[in-house]
Structure 1
Amino acid sequence: MNPQTITFQPRRRESKSPITVAVDALCYIIMHRNYAEVHLQNGKVFTSRITMEELEQTLGADFLKVHRSCLVAMRSIHSIEDKIILNNGERLVYVVRQKKALQKQLHTWQKALLNSMEDTTAPATAAEYHDYYKSFDAMPFAFTDIEMVFDDERHAIDWIFRYGNPALAQLEKLPLETLIDHSFGTLFANMDSKWLRSYERAVLYGETLEIVDYSPEIDTHLKITCFPTFKGHCACILFNVADFSAARPLTKSGEATLTYLSVILGRNS
């Protein structure tokens, strides 16, 4: 079993106390001779006295060694192309002659993660989804539960609307009967893949994410909060940024609301 936390010793013995962080908080680590430069998911960086051998033994198969001086968290990798493309947009160099082997390791890890998501507790029909989420029908904000679609390489390529409330239909400018049980890509030919990366992270890693960006599909600037529900699914709360002044009072209790929703709709572990 992989550890949940890891403790890093300060780079200099006489300075500071050891730093203990969650393994899930690690993004990548680069070795510089006798010390490690540790990059966290939140963008913070610190240095530590630790060897590559110690890191490999401690972190295990959830990290990919892309060259002799760099370990990358599998969950941080979006794809392996001419560079290692991270979810945060960073690009890391790697040993190109090992590209196929590294891709295979990543795909095997992703496949195992997806297989672990098999879950029989999700509703089976559109009517059952509606019965489960019916309390959201009268909500003033758009709300949807989506099921992610993955390709053979374990990348999210689309999603299917399983539930949506009337406010979602108004925002998407399509009737609910057109949205429900249909994929986003089949409804919007100009689908922008930027949404996939965030939804994929919510589904695979249980993250709650907030996105503010332009949606060319409906020509609207959106604020979206997404969080995991059933395995393979995530829920999204959507606001039109133009209406954000009206939505602002909701944000004061937003964290508590999301915590509550994550509990009552949360994925089974």
Structure 2
Amino acid sequence: MQKEKYITILSNGTKQVLNVSTILYVLMIEKTAEIHVSGGKVYETRTTLKELETELGDGFLKVHRGCLVSAMAIHNITDHINLNNGESLIYTLRKKNQIIAQFQEAQKCLISGFTREGIPETEKEYRAHYRSFDAMPFAFADIEMVFDEESRAVDWIFRYGNPALAKLEKLPLEKLMGSSFGSLFSNMDAKWLRLYERAALYGETLEVMEFSPEIDAWLKVICFPTFKGHCGCILFDITEIAFTKISSDAENALMRYFGRLPETDGQL
């Protein structure tokens, strides 16, 4: 992983030390810079975009004269710059090709920095590393992302899976391990690629509830970075999950999580 980098700013009279890897983008509002970081917080500081551009370094793209965007925060570039957190930003359209090239170069540099150091070499070594997951009641997999020549995620390879994964995928482990998802399922949905790419490349921990046409099931998936270029995936068949309240705080927690109260089994 790259060495952590920090910048120090003065925001609302208070000195703030920001981890550059958490900064999504910077917007200039007259002489004030709005620094947007992961988690939704915004820091305001009096500085110039040029000064921040120098401090933040090559990992940030200048997409118009008042905006810097972290290459790590970008999901894709269409008529807007679409960020991993769901936000969209405008950019100078006449520079579209230049901005896309810069983004692709930044991603290539990230991928080229991957090494095999510390990564298991064989299926036996993967099984030894993840042996504590063998008896878990939920499906778990370690997957290695596959990238094309333009550094886009196009598939993934199963490097470890537990028996619960084989049950969920409806395939034996010996067929899953070492195989790419695309070679096993002809109807692969690209939405999973984007999710796993974010975890593997940018170190995000993400959760999603989506329908999987490949196995005809609604899934809850939690993915997180493991080895370089890999991510771990915990998968639940939603139909097998029952909600239950165990304390008076449960409703507040559920509201924060879902934005509403799901049906429960009535247990306390």
TM-score by length of 1: 0.82
8 Å Cα contact 2:4-2:21 kept in structure 1: no
The ranges of structure 1 where at least 4 consecutive aligned residues each deviate by more than 4 angstroms after the TM superposition are 246-249
Residue in structure 2 matching 1:45, options 42, 49, 67: 42
Give the C-alpha shift of residue 213 in structure 1. Answer: 2.5
User: Which residue is 2:24 aligned to?
Assistant: 27
CA distance in 2, matches of 1:139, 1:42: 31
Aligned-pair distance for 1:226? 1.8
Any residues of structure 2 matched to 1:91-110 within 5 Å, and which? 91-110=88-107
Given candidates 189, 200, 204, the residue that maps to 1:203 is 200
Q: What is the SS of the residue equivalent to 2:175?
A: helix
Tell me how far apart the structure 1 counterparts of residues 69 and 110 of structure 2 sit (CA, whole Å): 17
Please give the per-residue CA displacement for 1:23-47, whole angstroms capped at 9, x wherever unaligned.
1111111112111222222122343
The residue aligned with 1:9 is 10
| Gapped regions of structure 2 (runs ≥ 5) | 247-268
- Partner residue of 1:81? 78
Taking structure 1 as reference, are residues 119 and 31 closer, same or farther at Cα in structure 2, changes over 3 Å only?
same
Identity %: 53
1:71 and 2:68 are equivalent in the alignment: yes
Following the alignment from structure 1 to structure 2, what is the Cα–Cα distance between the partners of residues 134 and 248? 32
Greater helix proportion: 1
Q: Which amino acid aligns with 2:209?
A: V
Partner of 1:243: 240
Structure 2 letter corresponding to 1:9: L
Moved more, 121-130 or 179-188: 121-130
Partner of 1:186: 183
In 1, Cα distance between the equivalents of 2:229 and 2:162? 20
Change (3 A) 1:2 1:48: farther
Aligned-partner residue type, residue 101 of structure 1: Q
Q: Is the 8 A contact 1:161 1:182 kept in 2?
A: yes
Checking the alignment, whether the CA contact within 8 Å between 1:2 and 1:59 is kept in structure 2 is no
Say whether the 8 Å CA contact 2:60–2:70 is kept in structure 1. yes
Code of the residue aligned with 1:27 in structure 2: it is: L
Residue identity opposite 1:4 in structure 2:
K
User: How far apart, CA to CA, are the structure 2 residues paired with 1:246 and 1:141?
Assistant: 16
Q: Structure 1 residues 102, 226: closer, same or farther in 2, change over 3 A? A: same
Name the SS for the 1:245 alignment partner: coil
Which residue, 132, 137, 144 being the options, matches 1:135?
A: 132
Contact between 1:207 and 1:228, CA under 8 Å: does it hold in 2? yes
Structure 1 stretches of 5 or more lacking a match? Answer: 250-269
Query: 2:156 aligned to 149, 155, 159, which one?
Result: 159
Q: Distance in 2 between matches of 1:237 and 1:38?
A: 33
For 1:32 and 1:184, locate their aligned partners in 2 and report how far apart those are by CA, in whole Å.
46
Q: 1:20 to 1:120 in 2, by over 3 A?
A: closer
Give the counterpart letter for 2:55 in structure 1: T
Give the superposition deviation at 1:175.
Answer: 1.8
Q: Is the 8 A contact 2:206 2:224 kept in 1?
A: yes
Conserved in 2, the CA contact under 8 Å of 1:227 and 1:234?
Answer: yes
Q: Indicate yes or no: 2:113 matched with 1:116.
A: yes
Which of 152, 161, 172 is the matching residue for 2:169? Answer: 172
In 2, distance between residues paired with 1:193 and 1:126? Answer: 26
1:147 positional shift: 0.5
The two structures have a TM-score, normalised by structure 2, of: 0.82
| RMSD (CA atoms) | 2.4
Shift of residue 212, structure 1, vs aligned partner: 2.6
Does the 8 Å CA contact 1:169/1:176 hold for their aligned counterparts?
yes
Q: 1:50 to 1:3 in 2, by over 3 A?
A: farther
